[in-house]
């Protein structure tokens, strides 16, 4: 079995990575150290699986990048992956190719919600969940997640209260949850589906973080009882797990034909039609050939997690990292340190040269949280932790 190399990173200047871009990082932290390590935007610095690189090289060398269509092989790769990885039985008709999960969120709002309708979010949550509402002039209703012993729980009483009183038409549900990595249980997902059905709220489940599970089991919303599938839209892609976000493809799975048709009508209005050539090839290859790469990548990130957990426990009194049950984005509660998150992020950028994510980017209820990104080499994580620990010791201990 091939042993993949995650220590040699890609040159992130060639893809003009936003995460590593000087100008973009300086716009956030004008006095950031020149040799900064970016642990913010959620993509990984690893080279994509060699199988994907080979498929893309073939396309690149062939020299034809003209118009294409969603091939039968692409549909089958999605159907097979969903079955093999998540035990989801997906019908061909249910699948629609899209240009990204965030664009899909915008499109579903346009397709199904009237201007006066609102969207319920359990916050904190990935920022674009709110942008999909705000960019389309729809209101957001935030229900704070309950933080009990450093683990998030859904606040059923408040969710039900808001559904009853404010009658949101849709909820974006992040499963697993970004920013905490929390993997919701089957009971929790079922409870959510029950409330959505009772109050006529469309359940839109974002499952883009479901492929890298550190502590399972992960339950997809497609595992819900049949009665709930009629009120469900599932968005996902291989973009997070296989680092293909820049190829701008994703897909939706919508069992209810009426909702699917309304959604697709909005595609027609925006001429969302065929995939891009490399995107489709990369997605098929990821799903057909890269399971082993993903397993090794997940194991590699677990090692980064260990390094980070140990560093936080030994060097940052007052920092508490949530148990990262999925993905590669640890969520750290720094409130007990008594120092505000903006100050810490700025100090880390300027003095340690480590760029971290700040709670502000997660809609609401994330004061005094930082988000890190472990999608890089052990050496980079070790260096980042050492630099941060040195600065913390000098300035705050
Ligand atoms: C929960 C969640 N959904 C969607 C996305 C982005 O999806 P896409 O690049 O396909 O728009 C991200 C990226 O970090 C994410 O965390």
**Cβ of 58: how many Cβ atoms within 10 Å?**
11
Strand bridging mode 170-174 / 354-358? unpaired
Contacts of 286 (CB under 8 A, 6+ apart): 49, 52, 238, 241, 242, 244
pLDDT confidence tier of residue 78, bands split at 50, 70 and 90: very high
CB distance 42 to ligand 1 below 6 Å: yes
Q: How far is ligand 1, taken at its centre, from the CA of residue 178, in Å?
A: 9
**In terms of pLDDT, which residue wins out, 396 or 279?**
279
Rounded to two decimals, the pTM is: 0.97
CB distance 238 to ligand 1 below 6 Å: no
Q: How far is ligand 1, taken at its centre, from the CA of residue 393, in Å?
A: 35
Q: How far is ligand 1, taken at its centre, from the CA of residue 128, in Å?
A: 8
Question: Among 40, 108, 245, 248, which is best to mutate for testing ligand 1, by the most ligand atoms less than 8 A from CB?
Answer: 245
Contacts of 1 (CB under 8 A, 6+ apart): 292
**pLDDT value at residue 344:** 97
CB distance 208 to ligand 1 below 6 Å: yes
Kindly state the percentage of the chain with pLDDT values over 90. 98
CB distance 101 to ligand 1 below 6 Å: yes
Pull the structure tokens for residue 248: 């701008």
Is 397 a residue whose pLDDT tops 80? no
CB distance 334 to ligand 1 below 6 Å: no
Mean pLDDT on 179-205: 98
Q: How far is ligand 1, taken at its centre, from the CA of residue 176, in Å?
A: 12
pLDDT digits (tens, 9 = 90+) for 328-376: 999 999 999 999 999 999 999 999 999 999 999 999 999 999 999 999 9
Q: How far is ligand 1, taken at its centre, from the CA of residue 102, in Å?
A: 6
- Ordered by where they begin, the domains of the chain are 22-49+291-396 (3.90.1150.10), 63-289 (3.40.640.10)
User: By the 8 A CB rule, do 328 and 304 touch?
Assistant: yes
Kindly state the percentage of the chain with pLDDT values over 70. 100
Mean pLDDT on 257-272: 97
pLDDT digits (tens, 9 = 90+) for 79-127: 999 999 999 999 999 999 999 999 999 999 999 999 999 999 999 999 9
pLDDT confidence tier of residue 198, bands split at 50, 70 and 90: very high
Please give, one letter per residue, the 3-state secondary structure of the chain.
Answer: CCCCCCCCECCCCCCCCCCCCHHHHHHHCCCCCCCCEEECCCCCCECCCHHHHHHHHHHHHHCCCCCCCCCHHHHHHHHHHHHHHHCCCCCHHHEEEECCHHHHHHHHHHHHCCCCCEEEEEECCCCHHHHHHHCCCCEEEEEECEEECCEEECCHHHHHHHHHHHCCCEEEEECCCCCCCCCCCHHHHHHHHHHHHHCCCEEEEECCCCCCECCCCCCCHHHCCHHHHCCEEEEECCHHHHCCHHHCCEEEECCCHHHHHHHHHHHHHHCCCCCCHHHHHHHHHHHHHCHHHHHHHHHHHHHHHHHHHHHHHHHCCCCEECCCCECCCCEEECHHHCCCHHHHHHHHHHHHCEEEEEHHHHCCCCCCEEECCCCCCHHHHHHHHHHHHHHHHHHHC
């Amino acid at each position: 079995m091939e042993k993949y190399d995650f220590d040699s990173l890609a040159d992130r200047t060639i893809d003009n990575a936003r995460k590593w871009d000087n100008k973009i990082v300086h716009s956030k932290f004008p006095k950031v150290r020149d040799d900064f390590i970016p642990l913010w935007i959620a993509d990984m610095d690893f080279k994509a699986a060699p199988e994907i690189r080979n498929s893309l090289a073939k396309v690149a060398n062939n020299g034809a990048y003209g118009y294409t269509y969603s091939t039968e092989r692409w549909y089958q790769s999605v159907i097979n992956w969903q079955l093999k990885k998540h035990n989801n039985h997906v019908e061909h008709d249910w699948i629609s190719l899209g240009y990204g999960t965030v664009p899909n969120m915008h499109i579903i709002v346009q397709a199904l919600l009237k201007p006066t309708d609102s969207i319920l979010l359990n916050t904190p949550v990935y920022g674009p969940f709110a942008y999909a509402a705000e960019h389309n002039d729809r209101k957001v209703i935030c229900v704070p997640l309950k933080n009990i012993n450093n683990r998030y729980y859904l606040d059923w009483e408040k969710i039900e209260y808001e559904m009853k009183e404010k009658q949101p038409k849709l909820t974006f549900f992040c499963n697993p949850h970004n920013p905490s990595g929390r993997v919701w249980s089957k009971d929790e997902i079922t409870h959510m589906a029950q409330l959505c059905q009772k109050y006529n709220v469309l359940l839109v489940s974002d499952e883009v973080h479901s492929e890298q599970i550190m502590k399972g089991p992960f339950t997809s919303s497609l595992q819900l009882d049949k009665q709930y599938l009629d009120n469900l839209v599932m968005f996902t892609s291989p973009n997070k797990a296989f680092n293909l976000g820049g190829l701008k493809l994703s897909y939706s799975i919508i069992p209810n034909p009426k909702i699917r048709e309304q959604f697709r009508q909005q595609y027609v209005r925006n001429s969302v039609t065929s995939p891009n050539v490399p995107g489709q090839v990369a997605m098929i290859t990821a799903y057909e050939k890269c399971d082993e790469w993903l397993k090794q990548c997940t194991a590699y990130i677990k090692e980064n997690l260990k390094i980070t957990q140990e560093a936080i426990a030994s060097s940052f009194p007052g920092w508490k990292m949530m148990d990262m049950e999925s993905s590669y984005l640890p969520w750290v509660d720094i409130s007990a340190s008594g120092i505000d998150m903006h100050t810490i992020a700025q100090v880390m950028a300027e003095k340690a040269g480590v760029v971290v994510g700040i709670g502000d980017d997660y809609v609401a209820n994330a004061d005094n949280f930082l988000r890190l990104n472990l999608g890089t080499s052990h050496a980079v994580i070790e260096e980042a932790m050492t630099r941060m620990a040195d600065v913390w010791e000098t300035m705050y201990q």
